[in-house]
Amino acid sequence: MTSEPERQHVRQMIGFLQDRMRSPDDTGEVIVRRQEVEEFARSAGMDEAEAWEIFRALKPSAWQGQYMDESRSEEGEYTSARISWVDLGLGGQAYLGDQ
């Protein structure tokens, strides 16, 4: 079961992604880097690693796009994604329901 703080973090992350989509590039997409997610997490009082996990878990229920191959870290994890769509409604519901 998902706790209320976890639900709030999911809502905050979706809000962050919605804000980022307000300034897309010429293709209608935005690049979201792990560093940006971590900066957002610090400003929102969230754990940085937890915020990145929430970001990853929300694909594809709250955002669609592709992880960028050129952004792989030495550990093999992606560190950024090119996002083409963010749910403007109840996007985190699938994530919240799975907890």
Is 4-98 assigned to CATH 3.30.310?
no
* pLDDT mean over 45-59: 93
Q: Round to whole Å and give the CA distance between 72 and 17.
A: 21
14-45 pLDDT, tens per residue? 999 999 998 888 888 999 999 999 999 999 99
| pLDDT for 96 | 43
* Nearest partner of 51 among 40, 61, 59, judged by Cα: 40
Per domain, the residue ranges of the chain are 4-98
62-97 pLDDT, tens per residue? 999 999 988 888 888 889 999 999 987 654 444 444
DSSP state of 2: -
| pLDDT for 24 | 84
Its sign, for the CA torsion 30, 35, 39, 40, is: positive
Alpha helices in the chain (DSSP H): 4-20, 34-44, 48-57, 93-98
Q: Round to whole Å and give the CA distance between 68 and 33.
A: 10
Buried/exposed code over 37-76 (b: 16+ C-beta within 10 A; e: otherwise): bbebbeeeebeeeebbebbebbeebbbebeeeeeeeeeee
